[in-house]
Amino acid sequence: MPDREIPKFSKLAEELIGSLRRIPSEDPKSMRRRPTQMLSELVGELVVKHSIGIESPEQIIRDHWPEIVGHANAAYSHAAQIDTRGRLTVLAGHSVVRNELFLHRSKIIERVQQLPGCKGVKELFLRSG
């Protein structure tokens, strides 16, 4: 007997066939079936998506953060991320540090833009955190 591929039915069709045959479904209701992918492709996509092994602008800024804002301010703040509009989000754990960074934001942006790969940073967004 030649190998035949098992036909693929939609989830609704499988539920109807199962209820007709009085066989309960083993799949949870909220589960979606997706085609199986090769693990190497998935790992490759994740490496690109999360910039693994590639130095990102955020990491360069984090490495130079004490030099940019000073050691005292760097102890209570850190650069989190750069969004698509070029805003650098900085989390400051102390209100005095946040105000200090706010007052010197233009100088901080100039120093950040001098770092390699960080020319796209246009604005500083300060958050408590």
Domains of the chain (ranges, CATH numbers): 57-128 (3.30.300)
Question: Per-residue pLDDT for 94 more than 60?
Answer: yes
- CA separation, residue 5 to residues 34, 38, 98 (Å): 17, 20, 63
Question: Per-residue pLDDT for 6 more than 80?
Answer: no
pLDDT band at 1 (very low <50, low <70, confident <90, very high): low
Question: Per-residue pLDDT for 17 more than 80?
Answer: yes
Residue whose C-alpha is closest to residue 77's, from 110, 105, 50 = 105
Give the whole-number percent of the chain exceeding pLDDT 70.
98
Q: Contact, 82 vs 88, CB < 8 A?
A: yes
Which residue has better confidence, 88 or 31? 88
